Structure 1
Amino acid sequence: MIDKLEFFIVLAREQHFGRAAEECGVTQPTLSAAIQQLESQLGVSLVVRGSRFHGLTPEGQRVLEWARRIVGDTRTMREEMRATRRGLAGHIRLAAIPTALAMVRKLTEPFQKRHPNVTFSVLSRTSLQVLSLLENLEIDAGITYLDNEPLGRVTTVPLNSERYHLITAAGTPLSDRDVVTWRDVSGLRLCLLTADMQNRRIINKHMQEAGVEVSPTLESNSMIVLFSHIRTGQWASIMPRNVAESFGFSEQIRMIPISEPDASHLVGLVATHREPHTPLVSALLHEARMLVKAEAFDRNYLLSDDFPILT
C-alpha cells in the first residue's frame, strides 16, 4: 500500500494525472489503477471523478493527511535501519529562502565533516514553497522565517535574526548617512525581491508603518541579480546585512542600518514535526543547535571583560 500512498501524495500535489504519473515514473493508466485500488482498499472515493482532475473528496483530504504521516514514518524506519547497518549516510534535501542561502554553508560544511557519507541538495524557494515542500515530503528540512507568518506544525531551530540595511553604492543619495529611516529609503530607485517573497512582504509592511509605499523599478527572485544592479550605482536595495556581507562587497558599497523601526525577523531551520525524526534530520537538527550554541558563546566571549581589545 505504501507505493499507492506515495502515488496519491504526488497526485494531490500535482493536481494532474499526467504530471503525477511522469513524476512517479509510471504510465498514467498505472497511476490511475493504483489510485482506484487504494480507493477500493479503503472503501471511499478519494478523487472527484471527471474527465480531468477536479480535486480531492473530503475523505481524500483526510487520507492525504494519513498518507503523509504513514509514508513519512515508513521512510524514517527504512533510514533508521539503514543507519544501524552502515552508519549515517544518504542525501538531505534542503530548501531555503533567498536571504538565508548564505547561511546554509554554516550547516552543511561542519555536517559533512562529521558525516562524510551524506550529500546535500539545496533549493532556493519562497517561504510558502518551503513549507509546502516540507508538507509534501519533497524536502527533509528548510530554512525560513520563524516569526512573521504561520508555520503550521513543525520543529524549529532559530538560527539568526535578520536586521535590515540600505545597500547602496558610495556617492549615491543617502550613502553618506550613518543611519536612514524607512521613509528616507522609499524615495530611492530600488531593486527588491519579488512580491511572492516573505522578505518583500516584510519590507512592504515596514514601509506602510512608516506611512510610505515602496515602488521598486526592478524586481527579481535572485539575490545575485539584485547585487549586480546595486554595483552599477543606479539602484539601491534593502536586505539583511549578513546577506550583503556574504557577497564580499568592497568599500564602494555602503551598508547603512534602517531605523524607525529598527526591525529584525527571526530565521531558522524547520523540519516536519514527528517523533522520531529520520536519523539524517535528527543529525541536522543537532548540528543546527550546536551552531546556535557556538555562535552564542562567541558573542558572549566578545562582549566579556576577558576578551582582549586590540588597538
Structure 2
Amino acid sequence: MNLLASMKYLVALNEHRHFARAAEACHITQPALSNALRALEEEFSVVIVRRGRTFAGLTSEGEQVLAAGQRMLHEQQVLQQSLKSTADSPVGGLVIGAVPTAVPIAARFAAMLQARHPAIMPTVLSLSSSELETRLDNLSIDLGLGYTDRMGLGGAKLLALPQYIEHYFLLRRAAQPHPHELQIGEPISWQGAAQQPLCLLTPEMHNRTIVNTAFASAGCNVTAIIETNSILTMALAVVAGQVCSVMPGALVAAVRGYRELEALPLVSPQVRTPIGFMRHAQVRLSRAMEAAQVLAQDGAWLRHAAAHSGLLVSF
C-alpha cells in the first residue's frame, strides 16, 4: 500500500464528500479509491469511512487518520519544495484563499510574489470567511486573506499578518462621466446610503454582516433589491443598472477604470475593519510560504496594499 497516496484519497473524499467526485479529482477510478481506503483501514485496524449507499462521513477514528494525513501531505510538500529550491530561489506552489472583498489585493500580492520569485506558482481562490478558516485548518490552503477579527471563531489555530484597514464607499453612477476614471466624491452618511436602491452581498457573507451592522448603527433597516455572492456582479449591476452598492476600497480600486462611476466615502458611523493574511500556527512553512511571509511584511508591499484598499487618496 502506498500510504501517502491513500492519505491523499482520504483527504479528497473528505473534501468532496462523494466517492465518484473524489476519485475523479484524484484521476483514478472509484473502485481504486475504495480499495485504497479499505487498505488504509486494514493498516490501522479501524473503520475510517462510514458507508451507506453514499458517503456518510468519517468515524471518530477516521477523523484522527484524516488529520494525520493532512499533516503528512503538508510535510511532503514542504520537503519537495526544500529539495527543489536553492537559498535564493524558492520553488513550488502556494495556495492563497481570500474573502471576495479582498480578492483584488490577493491578486496584486500573488503577482508581486511571482515577479519577485518566478519559480513560485501562486493559486488564488475566492472563499467565504468560514471556508477560509476551515481550509487553513485542514491545510488545503497555505495563506488566507480575510477578516482577522474572526480568528478563532472556528477553532482553527491561526497566526495573523496585518495588511490594511478596510474603508467603505457607496458606489454609484455619476451624473456625468468623469474625464479619465472613477472619482472619489463627497462623503455620504450610512443613513443617506440607505435611501438608495442597493445591490449587496448575500446574507451569509461576512462583509454583508459588517454592512448590515453599520446600517443598524445609523438607525436604518435596509433591504437590498439585488443580492449576489459575486463582487463582479456587484460592480456590473451599478455600471449597467440603476442601483448603488456598498463596497470596500479594494473593490472600488478594482473598478477605477469606469469613468461613469463615482465612490462616496461612508461616514456616520465610521466603519473600519482590519484585514490580514492568516496562516496555520502549528506547521512548518514551505519555501514558497516563507517567501510569501517575507513579502507580506515588506514595507513597500504594505504601502501598495494600503494605497489600493483604504481611503484611496492617491486617486
TM-aligned CA deviation for residue 272 of structure 1: 2.4
SS of corresponding position for 1:215: coil
| Aligned equivalent of 2:290 | 282
Amino acid at match of 1:77: L
1:156 match: secondary structure: strand
Q: Equivalent residue for 1:186?
A: 194
Given residue 161 of structure 1, which amino acid in structure 2 is its aligned partner? I
Contact in 2 for aligned 1:9/1:136 (Cα 8 Å): no
- Distance in 2, matches of 1:75 and 1:294, equals 28
The alignment status of 1:37 with 2:39, answered yes or no, reads yes
Paired with 2:260 and 2:87, the residues of 1 have a C-alpha distance of: 54
Q: Distance in 1 between matches of 2:18 and 2:184?
A: 55
Identity of aligned residues (%): 28
Whether the 8 Å contact between 1:169 and 1:236 is mirrored in structure 2 is yes
Following TM superposition, by how much is the alpha carbon of 1:255 offset from its aligned partner in structure 2, in angstroms?
2.0
Residue 86 and residue 288 in structure 1: after superposition, are their counterparts in 2 closer, same or farther (change >3 A)? closer
Equivalent residue, structure 1, for 2:311: none
- Report the counterpart of residue 8 of structure 1 in structure 2: 10
SS in 2 for 1:111: helix
Gaps of 5+ in 2: 177-182, 308-315
Aligned residues: 296
Is it true that 1:254 corresponds to 2:262 in the alignment? yes
Distance 1:276 1:207, change over 3 A: same
Unpaired segments ≥5 residues, structure 1? 300-311
- Relative to the length of structure 1, the TM-score reads 0.85
Q: CA deviation at 1:287?
A: 0.7
Question: 1:283 Cα shift?
Answer: 0.7
Q: 2: CA distance between counterparts of 1:44 and 1:292?
A: 52
User: Using the alignment, how far apart are the partners of 1:237 and 1:201 within structure 2?
Assistant: 15
Q: Secondary structure at the match of 1:274?
A: coil
2:179 paired residue number = none
Partner of residue 68, structure 1:
70
| One-letter identity of the residue aligned with 1:29 | P
Q: Match for residue 213 of structure 1?
A: 221
After superposition, what is the alpha-carbon deviation per residue over 1:12-34, rounded to whole angstroms, capped at 9, x for unaligned? 12121111111111111111111
Q: Shift of the alpha carbon at 1:62?
A: 2.2
2:99 to 94, 97, 100: 97
SS of 2:82's partner is helix
- State the distance in 2 between where 1:247 and 1:256 align: 14
**CA shift for structure 1 position 35:** 1.1
Per-residue CA distance 1:224-243 (angstroms, 9 max, x = gap): 22222223461111111242
Deviates more, 1:243-252 or 1:270-279: 243-252
How far 1:48 sits from its partner (Å)? Answer: 1.6
Q: Which residue of 2 aligns with 1:307?
A: none
Aligned partner of 1:220: which letter? T
Q: CA deviation at 1:177?
A: 8.0
1:48, 1:54 within 8 Å by CA — same for their partners in 2? yes
Per-residue deviation, 1:111:
1.9
Cα distance change on mapping 1:233 and 1:8 into 2, 3 Å: closer
Structure 1 residues 105 and 17 mapped into 2: Cα distance closer, same or farther (>3 Å)? closer
Deviation at 1:250, TM superposition (A): 5.6
Change (3 A) 1:89 1:176: closer
> What amino acid maps onto 2:103 in structure 1?
L
How far apart, in 1, do the equivalents of 2:32 and 2:224 lie?
49
